Structure 1
Amino acid sequence: MSMDPKKKTVLQAVSLVVFMGAMAWASVPLYDWFCRVTGYGGATGVAEAGSDTVLDQTITIRFDASLERGMPWEFKPLEREVELKIGETGLAFYEAYNPTDRPIAGSASYNVAPYDAGSFFTKIDCFCFEEQVLQPGERVEMPVTFYVDPAIVEDRDAKFVNHITLSYTFYEIDLPDNASQAALNTN
C-alpha cells in the first residue's frame, strides 16, 4: 500500500516547512547558549568576585557605547580606555542621560572584541544585568566591575590579545509596571 506521489510530496514539503520553522524558533536561544559556553561572539563570563591571581602583564580595555536607532537617550563611557594588569579588578563608568519629558526604560546588550578574548573577560557587576529606567532629565553614572581572566595568557589564540573592547548598545524597552505607575504619580 503506497502513498500517492502528490500526497507524499506535499507531506514532505509541509514537514520541511515545520522543521525549518522549529529550527528558526530555536536558533536564538541555542546561539545564545553556545556563545555563553564557548565565549564565541564576544560573550563574557560572570563571577561573584575578582580573580585570585594578578599577573605582571598588562592589557588595555577600551570602552564603546551606542544606541539603537530611535533610542532617545544620550549614552557614553566616562573613560575611553584603561590599562590594568591581567587578573586585576577594573571599574569603569558609563553615563546615560534622558533628555526627554517622559520616563524611558532601557536595556543594554554588550559585546567584547576581539572574539577570542570574550570568554576571558569576566564581569563581576554590571548595569547591563538589569533594566534601567531614567526619569525625564535624569543623568546617571552606571558602573561595570570586571577583570580579565589570567588563563588568557595560556590560550592558543587569545594570548596575543593586547586590547579588548567592551561595547554596549542601549535599546528602549517597555516601562516596568511600577515605573509607569511612579511616573503617573509625579504628574
Structure 2
Amino acid sequence: MAHIDTQDNASRNNKRIAIWLVLIVALMVGMAYAAVPIYQIFCQVTGYGGTTQRAEDNAIAVIDREMTVRFAAQVASDLPVRIVPAATQVDKVGKKVTVTYEATNLTDQPVKTVASFNVTPASMGAYFNKIECFCFTEQTLAPNETVQMPVLYYLDPELDLNDELDTIREVTLFYAFHAS
C-alpha cells in the first residue's frame, strides 16, 4: 500500500511540475509578443533611441536658441517609391514648423507604405514633437502619383534646460519607408 501512495505522490508532483512548466512557457511566449509594443510605448514616452514625441499643439514658448533640422529618408528595396525629403530648416526652438516630403509611386499599381522614424542625436527624441505627420497613418499612392506629405513639428524649449544638449545645434529627422 505504501508503494502505491509513493507512486501517487510522484505522479501528482510530476503533474504539478508539468503544469508549472507549461505556465512558464506560456508566460514567456506572452512576454515575447508583448515586448515590442511595450518597448514602443517606453520609447515614445521617454524619447529613448531618438523616438519623437507626439504633440497635440504648439510649445508654450519660442526661445532665442536656433536649431538646424535636417530631413532624411530611406526606402526599402522592395518598395517602388521615390521619396524626396524636406529641405533643411533653421528656426528658433519652440517655433511650429511645417515641412513637406514628396513621394512618387513609380509603378502602374497602387502602393501602400508606412514610415517609421527616429531622431539623431537620440537624446533629442524627447524634445522633438510632431503635431501632424504622414507617419501616423498608412499612405496609399495611386499609380504614378506624386503626393506632398507634410510634417508639422516643433522642438520643445525645455531642451534648453538640459545641460547635456548645450552643444547640439543640429537634429536629423529620419524616415524609413516600407511596404505595408
After TM superposition, the score normalised by the length of structure 2 is 0.85
**2:142 corresponds to 1:135:** yes
Residue 37 of structure 2 is matched in structure 1 by 29
Moved more, 126-135 or 5-14: 5-14
Q: 1:105 to 1:15 in 2, by over 3 A?
A: same
Q: Does the CA contact (< 8 Å) of 1:97 and 1:140 recur in 2?
A: yes
- Aligned pairs for 1:13-162 (under 5 A) are 13-79=21-87, 81-162=88-169
CA displacement at 1:52 relative to structure 2: 2.9
Moved more, 30-39 or 43-52: 43-52
Residue 176 of structure 1 is matched in structure 2 by none
Give distance in 2, aligned partners of 1:156 and 1:29.
Answer: 31
Unaligned runs of 5+ in 1: 174-187
CA displacement at 1:7 relative to structure 2: 5.2
Q: Specify the code of the residue in structure 2 equivalent to 1:34.
A: F
CA displacement at 1:9 relative to structure 2: 5.6
Q: Does the CA contact (< 8 Å) of 1:125 and 1:146 recur in 2?
A: yes
Give distance in 2, aligned partners of 1:3 and 1:112.
Answer: 58
Q: 1:7 to 1:158 in 2, by over 3 A?
A: farther
For the pair shown, which has the larger CA radius of gyration, 1 or 2? Answer: 2
Give distance in 2, aligned partners of 1:146 and 1:137.
Answer: 29
Q: Does the CA contact (< 8 Å) of 1:66 and 1:76 recur in 2?
A: no
Q: 1:2 to 1:60 in 2, by over 3 A?
A: farther
Q: Partner of 2:100: helix, strand, or coil?
A: strand
Superimposed CA distance per residue, residues 61-119 of structure 1 (whole angstroms, 9 cap, x where no aligned partner)? 1111011231111112041x211111112221111000101011111111111111101
Give distance in 1, aligned partners of 2:79 and 2:24.
Answer: 39
CA displacement at 1:18 relative to structure 2: 1.8
Give distance in 2, aligned partners of 1:94 and 1:33.
Answer: 26
After TM superposition, the score normalised by the length of structure 1 is 0.82
Unaligned runs of 5+ in 2: 1-7
Superimposed CA distance per residue, residues 30-63 of structure 1 (whole angstroms, 9 cap, x where no aligned partner)? 1111111111122222223222311111111111
Identical pairs, percent: 39
Q: Specify the code of the residue in structure 1 equivalent to 2:91.
A: L
CA displacement at 1:156 relative to structure 2: 4.3
Give distance in 1, aligned partners of 2:26 and 2:36.
Answer: 17
Residue 4 of structure 2 is matched in structure 1 by none
**Number of residue pairs aligned between Structure 1 and Structure 2:** 172
